[in-house]
Amino acid sequence: MITASGAEYHLAGPGSLAPDARPVCIEDIAHHLSLINRFTGATSRPYSVAEHSLLCSEIAKREGAAVGLQMAMLMHDAHEAYTTDLSSPAKVAVNFYSMRAGGVQAWSVFEDVHADTVRKHFKLQTVFAGYKHEIRRIDLIALATERRDVTAYRHHANGPWAVLHDNMHDAVQPVDWVDLGSPARESITWKHWREAFIEHYFDLKAAIESTRPAVVAGAGMVA
């Protein structure tokens, strides 16, 4: 594929074996994600993966989470800049059909390869491993909020979503401090979300780097 910056990113095949086959940069990620809609576009307004990622990071921040988790939430879907976003039902369907054909869970294998590529590039493997359960929990809170505000889902008319534990005592609850369907929110352009994503990434990166212990030059000692 040709990225927004003009780079060639190899999704598979012999070309993907070259050392520079999968160039990753934050500007491409922010641009792509700001133009990729969640829910396969089945929303009341354009609602991008970039906006979703920023919402997730904000949820983590408001919960008092460490800056590392805030970064993980911003970047948890960054690989979708290259794989695109597939709705959860579609992911299940692709895996089902590929398994029925005698293969593996094709979508999961494909997605995992590129998620690993992006996380290695940004040196985030440890962050994602350490916050695995928290990332999933916050992602589901964002999903519940999005379902409430920007989808046509209605509890009395549509079936429960198992992923949100509908009709159970521990059902995932949306946040009450944002209305994603508000006119003010709807008026914000994709370019804003692109720039906000980039700015937030560098703010978090600087915050993470400021917390790392300094090494005394030439001494190999931690300051």
pLDDT tens for 40-99 read: 999 999 999 999 999 999 999 999 999 999 999 999 999 999 999 999 999 999 999 999
pLDDT interval class at 183 (50, 70, 90): very high
pLDDT tens digits, 97-127: 999 998 999 999 999 999 999 999 999 999 9
CATH of domain 14-222: 1.10.3210.10
Task: Give the Cα separation of 178 and 219 in Å (integer).
Answer: 50
Please provide the average confidence, as pLDDT, over all residues in the chain.
95
Cα 100 to chain centroid distance, Å, stands at: 29
The model carries a pTM of 0.94
Task: Give the Cα separation of 35 and 95 in Å (integer).
Answer: 25
pLDDT interval class at 212 (50, 70, 90): confident
Can you give the pLDDT at residue 215?
Answer: 46
